[in-house]
Amino acid sequence: MMQLIKMEKVKDGKYLKNYELTYLNKAGREKKYEIVSRKELKNAEDIGKKVSGISIAAVNGGKLLLLKEFRMGVNKSVYNLCAGMMEEGETVMDCIRRELYEETGLSVKKIIDILPASFAAVAISDMKTHIVFVEAEGEFEDHTSENEMIEAGFYSREETAALLQTEEFSSRAQMIAYFFSKNLFPGADMA
């Protein structure tokens, strides 16, 4: 059994807080482990408790919304989902509407499903996000900040399948794109 015996904040950045966790491993020895969190963690019970944001899997006219987005963390453009962090006091619905509009100019026509929050990067973070399935509508417009470079587009099943073979994706977008290309996506047939 692994047992957390100590937690210490080692850095307090603008968006990420770094923590060093000390565990007693199954052999009875100490194991140091580093994580980052979007939230302030007061104690071990706070780890993974709060939802940080959303990822939106959107369809329109039987096509999947994908963003070709420059990501500083990998220094290149990758295919991604529309996503973002919840602002203080914001509801999940408010966050969905705001992020979809900010990143694409689109609006929510219909909520298909909102999955319970899940961990986004369990190896390094306690960040939890909702995966949201929506039908989107409207015209593409750029409302992004000067620090974001996003090209939004809708892709057919065939186009999505081809992108999966030739382009780089975030893992969440790759999974959504795969299921969409195989016609295993809720609401994908909406025209």
Residue 72 domain flag: yes
Separation of alpha carbons 129 and 145, rounded Å: 22
Per-residue pLDDT of the chain (191 residues; tens, 9 = 90+): 899 999 999 999 999 999 999 999 999 999 999 999 999 999 999 999 999 999 999 999 999 999 999 999 999 999 999 999 999 999 999 999 999 999 999 999 999 999 999 999 999 999 999 999 999 999 999 898 899 999 999 999 999 999 999 999 999 999 999 999 999 987 766 54
Are 136 and 99 part of one and the same domain? Answer: yes
Residue 16 domain flag: yes
What's the domain range around 86?
51-181
Are 143 and 122 part of one and the same domain? Answer: yes
Separation of alpha carbons 93 and 47, rounded Å: 24
Are 78 and 169 part of one and the same domain? Answer: yes
81: its two tokens: 């989902």
Q: Identify the helix (H) or strand (E) that includes residue 137.
A: strand 128-137
Are 42 and 131 part of one and the same domain? Answer: no
Are 24 and 87 part of one and the same domain? Answer: no
**What per-residue confidence (pLDDT) applies to 66?**
98
Helix axis angle, 157-166 to 171-181, nearest 10°: 140
Residue 135 domain flag: yes
Q: Identify the helix (H) or strand (E) that includes residue 176.
A: helix 171-181
Are 114 and 23 part of one and the same domain? Answer: no
Number of domains in the chain: 2
pTM of the shown model? 0.92
Are 81 and 159 part of one and the same domain? Answer: yes
Residue 187 domain flag: no
Are 35 and 92 part of one and the same domain? Answer: no
Residue 190 domain flag: no
Contact between residue 64 and residue 160 where contact means Cβ atoms under 8 Å apart = yes
Separation of alpha carbons 15 and 76, rounded Å: 21
What are residue 21's DSSP bridge partners? 7, 33
